[in-house]
Amino acid sequence: MNYFSSDFKLGILGGGQLGKMLLYETRKYDIFTKVIDPSEEAPCKIACNDFVVGDLMDYDTVMNFGKDIDVLTFEIEHVNVNALEDLEKKGVKVYPSSKTLRTIQNKGTQKLFYTDHKIPTAPFKRFAYTSEIKDSIENGSLTTPFVWKSTQFGYDGNGVKVIRKVTDLDGLPNVECITEEMIPFKNELAVIVTRTPSEEVATYPVVEMEFHPEANQVEYVICPARISDEVAQKAQQIAVEVSKAIGHVGLLAVEMFQTQNDEILVNEVAPRPHNSGHYSIEASYTNQFEQHLRAILDLPLGNTNSKVAGIMVNLVGAEGHTGNVKYKNIEEIMALPGVTPHIYGKKQTRPFRKMGHVTIVNEDIAKARSIAEEVKNTIKVVSI
């Protein structure tokens, strides 16, 4: 199949920063891209060949978008999966598939999938409505603390809350949800697995994620994770098992807990390039976006090793600031060795909005970590 500078068309559902970074790779390979997003100011608006505004959850919109596409992928799970399935029937190659997305899109279905396939995960309960949870607590079948998660439409920490007492449930939307046992984990880890239609598989090194305690957002992603080889191998092995069980094509980011006993429990997966893989742009032989592209086009996968250690710091809107964005002290951090900021191109900031990230690479991971801390304490995403 002639992908390069040809009539081949790649469609991308979703035009946010993940799509934007995928477009760096499609530009590098001169692959024709068509992107759709609900926002006229989406980060993907430029650098694709054809940009369309539309609702990703609307059946007709997605069907219409996909009709002249050869391969279709998505950079966000909130898309109309019935349309994906019908496009597959029409001969469009949809990667990852509608089947993969149905398994993952609903967190309850996802958890059931793990237990059905004997993939280790935290014990959970499923509820049709948040209001039913109080009943469970009252009759003793559920005890605090636990983690509440809406089964659908969660993103960037939204739709997840730690419940330490019953009143923490107040204000939560009354939707289908799950509760998970809280795991007193030692580390939060992630492994990105890539898989092609020809079933070639490659895994990235295990990364460590440090989270902001309240916002449920990642603050640092550290590669390689500072764990034993034994735990790393276990994590990669479980990630590959998940990948094969799901039968996905493209990237699959598997987020995991390392328990106090060094066991691995799968937390969640994302069937697309992921925040935990952004370090790979500067640190890896093949970055995750290029790898996703290679995978969905059934091209040979690239080397997933790291050239150097890499740490990613998220740039999120500072609390108390809403409006036109300014990256305060960005010039200072650019003077530090091995520091590269990525600005997603969102014009407006608001508290905790993902506005960009900064990657710090260094041969020495301890040095990278200390520079990363300096970066984090220096740059501020404020409003003008």
257 with 265: CB under 8 angstroms? yes
Q: Which x/- pattern over 116-155 shows residues binding a second copy (rule: CB under 8 A)?
A: ----------------------------------------
Figure out which of the listed residues 194, 338, 353, 368 binds a second copy, where binding follows CB under 8 A.
338
By the rule CB under 8 A, 165 interacts with a second copy: no
188 annotated binding-site participant: yes
Residues 234-258: b if buried by 16+ CB within 10 A, e if exposed: bbbebbbbbbeebebbbbbbbbbbb
Query: What value does the CA radius of gyration of the chain take, rounded to a whole number of Å?
Result: 20
Q: How many residues bind a second copy (CB under 8 A)?
A: 45
Q: Which x/- pattern over 355-374 shows residues binding a second copy (rule: CB under 8 A)?
A: ------x-------------
Task: Give every CB contact of residue 21 below 8 A, 6+ residues apart in sequence.
Answer: 273, 278, 281, 289, 342
63 annotated binding-site participant: no
Figure out which of the listed residues 10, 16, 18, 20 binds a second copy, where binding follows CB under 8 A.
20
CB of 30 to a second copy, least distance (A): 4
Which string of DSSP letters, residue by residue, matches 156-221? TTBTEEEESSGGGGTT---S-EEEEEPP--SEEEEEEEEE-TT--EEEPPPEEEEE-TTT--EEEE
Nearest to 40 by CA among 54, 50, 26: 54
CB of 346 to a second copy, least distance (A): 7
Interface with a second copy in residues 250-309 (CB under 8 A): 282, 285-286, 290, 294, 299-300, 302-303, 307-308
Helices 81-89 & 98-105 angle (0-180, nearest 10): 160
By the rule CB under 8 A, 39 interacts with a second copy: no
Distance, CA of 118 to CA of 126 (rounded, Å): 18
By the rule CB under 8 A, 2 interacts with a second copy: yes
Distance, CA of 261 to CA of 248 (rounded, Å): 30
Figure out which of the listed residues 331, 351, 366, 377 binds a second copy, where binding follows CB under 8 A.
331
Distance, CA of 280 to CA of 277 (rounded, Å): 6
238-240-243-247 Cα dihedral, nearest 10 degrees: -130
CB of 338 to a second copy, least distance (A): 6
CA angle 179, 184, 186 (to 5 degrees): 130
Nearest to 242 by CA among 205, 212, 267, 207: 267
CB closer to a second copy, 61 vs 306: 306
Figure out which of the listed residues 8, 38, 47, 329 binds a second copy, where binding follows CB under 8 A.
47
99 annotated binding-site participant: no
CB closer to a second copy, 346 vs 354: 346
Residue with tokens 């002639």: 2
Distance, CA of 238 to CA of 131 (rounded, Å): 34
By the rule CB under 8 A, 169 interacts with a second copy: no
CB closer to a second copy, 238 vs 316: 316
By the rule CB under 8 A, 52 interacts with a second copy: no
Only segment of 206-214, 226-234, 254-262, 332-340 that touches a second copy (CB under 8 A)? 332-340
By the rule CB under 8 A, 46 interacts with a second copy: yes
CB closer to a second copy, 166 vs 334: 334
DSSP 272: S
Distance, CA of 272 to CA of 204 (rounded, Å): 14
Q: Contact positions toward a second copy, by CB under 8 A?
A: 2, 4-6, 20, 23-24, 27-30, 46-49, 282, 285-286, 290, 294, 299-300, 302-303, 307-308, 325-327, 330-331, 334-335, 337-347, 361
Annotated binding site: 107, 149, 180-183, 188, 267-268
Annotated binding site for ATP: 107, 149, 180-183, 188, 267-268
